Amino acid sequence: MSRLEHASARYRSLRCSAIAAELPELLAQAEDNALSYLAFAELLAEREHHAREHKRLTANHRRARLPADKRLEAFDYRHQSTITKRQVNALLDFGFIDNRENLVFIGPPGVGKTHLAIGLANRALAAGYKVLFRSALELVEELELAEMKGELKKHIAQLTRFDLLIIDELGYLPMSRQARYNLFQLVHSFYEYRSLILTTNKDFTDWGEFFHNDNVAVPIIDRVIHHSHIYVLGGESYRLKQKTTG
Ligand code: ADP
Ligand code: MG
């Protein structure tokens, strides 16, 4: 084993896999640029740090399970004029996540609620936050499964490891009383501890009805609305516009 191979193997055993893999190139770079000892030490540290950061963000992105690749850059504010770019940009310092506040996007189908939620998720992930995307239907199903196994609390605790949970399309389908109860447990665990983004076609005035005016639903609504930024989106469906003009 050459000295270089030996040094690489040492770095690998110390779990500095980026340095281990790129040691010949890093050495060549140091020689070509006549780097000082300190500059070389910095180069190695930065390379490893950068690789780990990239790995962490990539893993977070995969775990987020975003259903589509939607970017805020592609959002057309001329079509959707009931929310402004300024309003959306104001969210990008992620104070809402740091302060455990919620966002609620309300509006009819096709007006860009899910697009905005995924676009914000992408930016939050790039900023290092842990995000999880779930449709309301998927979430209700997985909570039901956990509840049947007697693992509802444990499952919810796992969900609270994310900084931000997106619940998409809440209110589209009716929910059983047990489903409402499970959801209440989740919202209760997130309250003032983690952030939610909800997209829904229901105005809050309809929510009581949607949740059958029961004593489980009212506290859910109350907790979600408290500390939340609510955006009511209107206008025409973007899907419909594309059908008719494109
Ligand atoms: P919603 O969740 O409100 O039903 P979506 O966000 O799924 O609507 O939007 C439907 C489709 O139209 C998606 O493909 C989305 O990317 C696109 N879309 C909606 N609004 C806009 C917009 N203002 N600019 C660009 N694309 C949009
Ligand atoms: Mg949607």
Distance 102 CA to ligand 2 centre (A): 17
Residue whose Cα lies nearest atom 21 of ligand 1: it is: 112
Order of strands, edge to edge, in the sheet holding 131-135?
Answer: 131-135, 164-170, 195-200, 102-106, 228-232
Tell me the fold of 72-245: Rossmann fold (3.40.50)
- As for ligand 1, residues whose beta carbon falls within 6 Å of it are 70, 74-76, 79-80, 107, 109-115, 199, 238-239
List CB contacts of 73: < 8 A, sequence separation 6 or more.
Answer: none
DSSP string, 59-98: HHHHHHT-SS---GGG--TTT-TTS-HHHHHGGGG-HHHH
Hey, how many other C-beta atoms are within 10 angstroms of the C-beta on 79? 13
Which residues of the chain does CATH 3.40.50.300 include? 72-245
> Which residues is 47 bridged to in the sheet?
none
pLDDT value of position 172: 82
What secondary structure letter does DSSP report for 229?
A: E
Residues of the chain with pLDDT under 70: 205, 210-214, 244-246
- Ligand in closest contact with the CA of 75: 1
Distance 64 CA to ligand 2 centre (A): 17
Distance 112 CA to ligand 1 centre (A): 4
* Nearest-angstrom CA–CA distance, 233 and 78: 13
- Ligand in closest contact with the CA of 113: 1
